[in-house]
Structure 1
Amino acid sequence: MRPPARRGRRLALPALLALFTCSLAFALVSEDMKKEVKQSKNLEKSNISKKTDIDLKEIVFVIQSQSNSFHAKKAEQLKKSILKQAADLTQELPRVLLLHQLAQQEGAWTILPLLPHFSVTYSRNSSWIFFCDEETRIQMPQLLETLRSYDPSKEWFLGKALHDEESTIIHHYAFSENPTVFKYPDFAAGWALSMPLVNKLTKRLKSEPLKSDFTIDLKHEIALYVWDGGRGPALTPVPEFCTDGGDASCATTFRALLPLCGNPVKKEDIFVAVKTCKKFHGDRIPIVKQTWAGQAGRIEYYSDSEDSSIPTVDLGVPNTERGHCGKTFAILERFLNHSLDGVAWLVIVDDDTLISISRLQRLLSCYDASEPLVLGERYGYGLGTGGYSYVTGGGGMVFSREAIRRLLASKCRCYRNDAPDDMVLGMCFSGLGIPVTHSPLFHQARPVDYPQDYLSHQVPISFHKHWNIDPVRVYFTWLAPREQGGAGQETPKGGREEL
């Protein structure tokens, strides 16, 4: 009699044969399934390819232009470049829109109020709305290839991603626990919204009108609105949207040059008014004199107290803790009516503003002093409900003589001495039909309050505030001419309070 183990093996042989037959059949079925899955994936890929095989006619280009003659000309040049590239590709020409021509409303530059127009006008035949600055340079073949990577039937918010390196007052200290998590687009590189997202945002705008509050940093605020507390898409970083132009795959690049149109304006044609008060004579004014004051051809210090050692001019307006509207209008009156007939430009700065007069001379060469010009960093108030834009004071406010003449010829004045001067001026100029001209080279805050990637493609003209920094070092790092040891035409890489 054989051991049980052997008998068990003999009995298992038929079962093994059956198992082998079953496994073979399963393998054959699995192979068939793999083929079907592969065919299905190929078909799906083919369908996506068809969906994303867009033409230029499906892209609406929106140049974030301004009505000032210098900026309008720049925008027209970019429009011609876009249309020429499209013609060279033998494609049907795309629509190219200039933002300042789209609507007469004051808040058009904030873009969100225009989304319903884009939705109604272009949603049927377009896939993308592509926004860019007037100095953005577009490589059309690369842009088409880039956009074809994204299914336009889905909601997309595309751009070159910026993020705060530390929480900042500019963004109301948003995401203070980890500022790097929230991404927002660098407008200089261009950014895009898919049409389904435009349509979604339009529906939201109709049911939830924009709030009547401040517009301070548009790129961050648009990203917040689109994200909608996590209910909408976050920004998708697109490496082909560039500002440095060092990579052949870049669909966009940006000209990081300080404008110069002919000869720089003579420093004697720029009058600089520094707003100060007695309590800051001893600490802020010495910094002004140690840094940028020597560049100014004409400069006066306006205070609530005469101090011959500086010297200061007492305008007869009491100092106020905030606002300073009475003081600012007194400066405007003095500029227009007291022996400064030959000076074309007035610049009003705070005593803790750091500014490069030599760079301002270059920039102003591109503007016509006979036009009413109000220039600086643009903010907005109540633009969702027909408010106004204004130049924020800390970064410096630049006025042509003609703008001041028209302002003072009107009856628009301060409602109180301590009213916010920059906002009152914004109301007045808006009522006169004189738009604010924006320059991102003026800064209401300190260099540390901005992403380094953002500053890296700028030649800044001003920064504001001495809080928690060495202002002399900031000046010589960011603003001083080369002969003073500063960055010249280049910029380096690399507590809370009210602005």
Structure 2
Amino acid sequence: MDSSFPLQPRCPAVVAVFLETTSAWPDLKEIVFVIQSQSNSFHAKKAEQLKQSILKQSAALTQEMPAVLLLHQLAQQEGAWTILPLLPHFSVMYSRNSSWIFFCEEETRIQIVQLLETLRRYDPSKEWFLGKALHDEESTIIHHYAFSENPTVFKYPDLAAGWALSIPLVNKLTKRLKSESLKSDFTIDLKHEIALYIWDGGNGLPLTPVPEFCTDVVGSACATSLQSSLPLCGNPVKKEDIFVAVKTCKKFHGDRIPIVKQTWAGQAGHLEYYSDYADSSIPTVDLGIPNTDRGHCGKTFAILERFLNHSHDKIPWLVIVDDDTLISISRLRHLLSCYDAREPVFLGERYGYGLGTGGYSYVTGGGGMVFSREAIRRLLASKCRCYSNDAPDDMVLGMCFSGLGIPVTHSPLFHQARPVDYPKDFLSHQVPVSFHKHWNIDPVKVYFTWLAPGEEDRAREQSRRGLREEL
């Protein structure tokens, strides 16, 4: 049994009180639970465990069972993970007999009794957008510098804590979606973009903060919480089973490569620097691809070909990073223990392009792109290639994998931007794997603050080892 999810509410007395006062609470059948799941085997299993936890807690309350949906099973369309395209489906299927659509992630822990107690405070006949509120401390590129005069005024939900839409709001948003198409070409930060859409420039609804939607357990009143951001899946992958490719160019040899070597390079079992110039002092490998100021598709595909066909034939994992990416190889090794390299895995921070009009998802390159050997084999066998050497490599890869039916596997632990670009409350419940960019920061300090192995990592590994022995 996976200990990540409690199968019963914390206290039998709470259930007894609930059963005595059930008329004052919403019926469970009025809540539609939507788990923001993924089709990768590890994530699908985690989502199914959460579903069973919800159903077992519900059964203890002797009510009619709620609907519990897994997002990756709802629709075949590429953009289902962005939620908004699915609202018309929710409106048609559930508006007659339901009051709430409650969204949660695979790692969200839910206490059903406390959730019902929380939701009863809100009149379900009105429009509600409920969640744990986050805000930007300063304007950030990942939100297109929105609310730059006062970034703290705009609140958006921490999806890991769970968030809810009342059915009247779902119906209103559905009408809007039918009358006007989604405007943004790119999906970069889902939680912020959903809140922006619902807010509608001040004509819609702001987020209502709900203190019972938690990421850390701060008391028995919490309806939701998180246990851990790094999953438990056995022994970490050996560092010799991961090959790290660093994309660089001659003009950055002098300032960026020394930072890589000062910080994370020593954790890697296999590492090569790929450049437009062979520098024996580093050393770098010249792939014969000229450097470009735009995308680096030609260079990235040359790395993939070299990895698959010319060397490293027994290494199961390839990681491609920029020369200004900061990454924790030790945490990546633990994370990869949850994935099967025999499957086609394409892992990192997921972005979307044109998802409202039949586009595709992709792993944004700056946070690091992780490939299983099988994913690379299928990609190169497909003949899908760059339309030019300076095409955006991450987007072309997303387009190719989408055409092959290989989904992006998303992890929020990879970051395209710097720590200052994310809310402190959001990062506080993460064990991050990567950050990107050196703008206006001390990258060495950022690495040792956020990513370097420390006592906490060692203690976490020991506790997990003890838990494995108990299991």
TM-score, normalised via structure 1 length: 0.87
Listed one character per residue, the Cα deviations across residues 14-68 of structure 1 (whole Å, up to 9, x for unaligned) are xxxxxxxxxxxxxxxxxxxxxxxxxxxxxxxxxxx99974110000000000000
SS at match of 1:408: helix
1:142 corresponds in structure 2 to 114
Shift of 1:411: 1.7
Tell me the distance in 1 between the aligned counterparts of 2:22 and 2:195.
29
State the AA in 2 paired with 1:480. Answer: A
Pick from 425, 431, 437: which aligns with 1:465?
A: 437
- Paired with 2:119 and 2:106, the residues of 1 have a C-alpha distance of 21
Kindly state the Cα deviation for residue 92 of structure 1 after the two structures are TM-superposed: 0.7
Secondary structure of the 1:177 match is coil
1:283 pairs with 232, 255, 272, which one?
255
Deviation at 1:472, TM superposition (A): 0.3
Q: Provide, for residues 451-492 of structure 1, a one-character-per-residue CA deviation record: whole Å limited to 9, x for no partner.
A: 000000000000000110000000000000016x999869xx
Structure 1 letter corresponding to 2:118: T
> Whole-Å Cα distance in 2 between the matches of residues 178 and 355 of structure 1?
31
> Could you tell me which of 247, 250, 253 is aligned with 2:225?
253
Shift of 1:211: 2.4
**SS of 2:165 mapped into structure 1:** strand
The 5 Å alignment of 1:380-419 reads 380-419=352-391
Aligned counterpart for 1:167 among listed residues 131, 139, 153 = 139
1:234 equivalent among 193, 199, 206: 206
When Rg is computed on C-alpha atoms for both structures, the one with the higher figure is 1
Kept in 2: contact 1:51–1:151 (CA 8 A): no
Query: In the aligned structure 1, how far is the partner of 2:122 from the partner of 2:193?
Result: 24
Counterpart residue identity of residue 121, structure 1:
M
Instruction: Give 1:356 deviation, angstroms.
Output: 0.2
CA gap of 1:227–1:487, structure 2 versus 1, over 3 A, is farther
Q: Distance in 1 between matches of 2:447 and 2:115?
A: 38
Out of 175, 179, 182, the position equivalent to 1:207 is 179
Secondary structure of the residue aligned to 1:274 is strand
1:84-123 CA-partner distances (Å, limit 9, x unpaired):
0000011110000000000000000000000000000000
Give the aligned partner of residue 271 of structure 1: 243
| Deviation sequence 1:305-327 (CA, Å, 0-9, x none) | 00000000000000001200000
1:339 CA displacement:
2.3
What is the alpha-carbon distance in structure 2 between the residues aligned to residue 445 and residue 486 of structure 1? 23
2:333 aligned with 1:333: no
Q: 1:92 aligns with which of 64, 68, 82?
A: 64
List alignment gaps of at least 5 residues for structure 2: 1-20, 462-471
One-letter amino acid of the counterpart of residue 82, structure 1: I
- The 5 Å alignment of 1:277-356 reads 277-356=249-328
Q: Does structure 2 conserve the Cα–Cα contact (< 8 Å) formed by 1:481 and 1:488? A: no
1:151 equivalent in structure 2: 123
- Give, in whole Å, the separation in 2 of the partners of 1:343 and 1:327: 20
Partners of 1:281 and 1:104 in 2: CA distance: 44
Distance 2:222 2:280 in 1: 57
For residue 445 of structure 1, the aligned residue among 400, 410, 417 is 417
Give the 3-state SS of the residue equivalent to 2:32 in structure 1: strand
2:144 maps to 1:177: no
Q: Is the 8 A contact 1:480 1:487 kept in 2?
A: no
Task: Name the CA shift for 1:488/1:431 in 2 (closer, same or farther; >3 Å).
Answer: farther
| Deviation digits for residues 351-396 of structure 1 (CA, Å, limit 9, x no counterpart) | 0000000000000000000000000000000000110000000000
Instruction: Determine the C-alpha separation between the residues in 1 that align with 2:309 and 2:354.
Output: 34
Change over 3 Å in CA distance of 1:279–1:229 after alignment to 2: same
Shift of 1:258: 1.1
Which position in structure 1 is the counterpart of 2:392? Answer: 420
Contact preservation (8 Å) 1:258, 1:489: no
Residue matched to 1:359? 331
Offset, 1:206:
0.3
Tell whether the 8 Å contact from 1:52 to 1:149 is kept in structure 2 after alignment. Answer: no
8 Å contact from structure 1 (residues 459, 489) kept in 2: no
Aligned-residue offset at 1:228: 0.4
Kept in 2: contact 1:52–1:150 (CA 8 A): no
Paired position in structure 1 for 2:33: 61
CA displacement, residues 281-307 of structure 1 (integer Å, 9 cap, x when unaligned): 000000000000000000000000000
Rounded to whole Å, the distance in 1 between the matches of 2:235 and 2:215 is: 27
Instruction: Confirm or deny: 8 A CA contact 1:477 1:487 kept in the other structure.
Output: no
Partner of 1:110: 82
Taking the aligned partners of 2:110 and 2:276, their CA distance within structure 1 comes to 52
Aligned-partner Cα distance in 2 for 1:253–1:345: 32
| Equivalent-residue separation in structure 2 for 1:277 and 1:487 (angstroms) | 35
Residue identity in the other structure for 2:217: G
What do the CA deviations read for 1:320-339 (whole angstroms, capped 9, x no partner)?
01200000000000000112
Question: Identical aligned pairs, as a percentage?
Answer: 87
Contact 1:264/1:362 (CA < 8 Å) preserved in 2? yes
Residue 232 to residue 138, structure 1, CA distance change in 2 (3 Å): same
Is structure 2 residue 63 aligned with structure 1 residue 120? no
Q: What secondary structure does 1:93 align onto? A: coil
1:479/1:488 contact within 8 Å kept: no
State how far apart, in whole Å, the 1-side matches of 2:341 and 2:24 are: 48
Aligned residues of 1:476 and 1:487 also touching (Cα < 8 A): no
TM-score with structure 2 length normalisation?
0.92
Q: Please state how far the C-alpha of 1:246 moved relative to its aligned partner.
A: 2.1
Q: Root-mean-square deviation (CA), in Å? A: 1.6
The letter for the 1-side match of 2:249 is: C
Q: How many residues align?
A: 441
Q: Report the CA distance between 1:209 and its aligned residue.
A: 1.3
